[in-house]
Amino acid sequence: MKKNASLILTTVLTVGLLAGCSSAPKSTTGAGALTTPSPATQGKDSKASAPSGTMKTPVPAAPGSITKLGLASINSVKKSKAGDSEKGPTAQSDVLVAAVGFDKDGKVASIMMDSAQTKIEYNKDGSLKSDLGAAYRTKGERKDSYGMKAASGIGMEWYQQVESLCAWMQGKTLEEIKAMKTKPGKDQAHPAVPDEADLQSSVTISVQDFKLLLEKAWANAQEVTSGADKVGLGIDISVKKSAPAKDGKGPSAQIDNTLVAVALKGDVIEGARLDVVQAKVDYQVDGSLKTNVADAVKSKRDYGDAYNMKKASSIGKEWYQQADAIDRWAKGKTLPQFETLPEKVKTEADLLSSVTISVNDYMKVYAQAVQKAR
């Protein structure tokens, strides 16, 4: 376990993560990068006709109705593959994320969900095939370019189906969401497709992981004492710490996902939650898997004290304790304060005694969450 606070360990439950979503295809830049080709149209006519579904959109929460904020992720690297005689290894990280605002009755008042599906590809000789300098995007950010529409059966992209799912969850408690009726889908990758009348024309992805995601968000939800109007979700993907085979060591893929949820009243943050998922997949020199990809992938918050940074910290604080301090500091702040913070953070009096980890990279994700809030 790494004790360097700029490295990030990872989070998970995992029941066929993102089984309901088409996997991204192979690309010279890695899945999620700006140049990644559309996943669901590989080998198919992207202009093929498909029934037209009806996208539903979430409505604004009642002013001040959000009393709890939850951030949750379900993560996996189990779709990573070893190399063979024809191709090099491919590491794949799947991180399904939700930022959820709950009201005083435990109902979903505001929600945003997204997925960071990222691939790092290697050549047969262990050299990098993916471009580590490319910009990597979530499925929600890729929108129509994700390319699932033709294969969806209802002519709707992944982000449109997830927006419809978010809209359906609004106004419901966790128990009502868990009770969603489902049925087996078209194949084994779709074990739990919605069987609710008001979802049949808008959601064909498998939803078992989304239901687990809401359960986790509720379990770790934090109080928003002043109330909030909307929730925002920020996600940043970095692959720059991945490495090719070198000096007798096999390739090592590292995909760092920084996650931030915020609850806003007007333009002011009333609640915030930071977490980091570090998905790492190591290979032997011959391209075979060294990492057991079936193992649970935890976030830094999931590790808690077991992350074991306290001994290396000059202030004796674990990562999650320092993240809590940053979240408390964020309360009462607005977007411009995050955009200018990197140059002044080390002089913030209320952080000096509680935070020694580097926060510069985190600040842009807080800013992203504020900008996306709805």
Q: What does the angle CA 56 – CA 60 – CA 65 come to, to the nearest 5 degrees?
A: 135
Beta carbons of 243 and 252 less than 8 angstroms apart? yes
* pLDDT of res. 1: 43
Two tokens, residue 71: 């951030």
- Side chain identity, residue 245: A
Burial class (CB in 10 A: 0-12, 13-18, 19+), 201: middle
Alpha carbon distance 313, 364 (integer Å): 24
pLDDT of residue 32: 63
Residue showing tokens 């868990």: 178
Residue burial 22-61, b: 16+ Cβ < 10 Å; e: rest: bbbbbbebbbbbeebebbbbeeeeeeeeeeebebbebeeb
Radius of gyration from C-alpha coordinates of the chain: 20
Task: State how many domains the chain has.
Answer: 1
pLDDT at 30: 57
User: Could you tell me if residue 185 is inside a domain?
Assistant: yes
**In a domain? residue 183:** yes
Single-letter code of the amino acid located at 3: K
* Residue 103: inside a domain: yes
For residue 289, give every residue at least 6 positions away whose Cβ sits within 8 Å of its Cβ, in sequence order, or none: 80, 82, 89, 281, 282, 283
- DSSP per residue over 306-329, as a string? GG--GGG-TT---HHHHHHHHHHH
Strand order in the sheet with 108-121: 108-121, 90-102, 66-76, 222-228
| pLDDT of amino acid 206 | 96
- Separation of alpha carbons 148 and 155, rounded Å: 8
Question: Is residue 18 included in any domain, yes or no?
Answer: no
The verdict on residue 126 lying in a domain is yes
Within a 13 Å sphere around the CA of 87, how many CA atoms are in the beta-carbon half? 10
CA–CA separation, 144 vs 137, rounded Å? 13
Q: How does pLDDT run along the chain (374 residues), one tens digit per residue?
A: 444 434 333 343 343 444 444 333 334 445 566 543 334 433 333 333 445 788 999 999 999 999 999 999 999 999 999 999 999 999 999 999 999 999 999 999 999 999 999 999 999 999 999 999 999 999 999 999 999 998 899 999 999 999 999 999 999 999 999 999 999 988 988 999 999 999 989 999 999 999 999 999 999 999 999 999 999 999 999 999 999 999 999 999 999 999 999 999 999 999 999 999 999 999 999 999 999 999 999 999 999 999 988 888 888 999 999 999 999 999 999 999 887 655 445 556 667 678 888 888 899 999 999 999 99
Domain for residue 130, yes or no? yes
**What token pair was written down for 112?**
């945003």
Angle at 254 between CA 234 and CA 302, to 5 degrees: 60
Buried b (16+ CB within 10 A) or exposed e, 143-167: eeebbbbbbbebbbbbbbbbbbbbb
Q: Is residue 310 classed exposed, middle or buried when 0-12, 13-18 and 19+ CB atoms within 10 A define those classes?
A: middle
Q: Which domain holds residue 89?
A: 66-303
pTM for the full predicted model? 0.85
Return the residue matching tokens 């959601």: 203
Residue 105 neighbours by CB distance under 10 Å: 10
Residue 372 within any structural domain of the chain? no
pLDDT of residue 85: 93
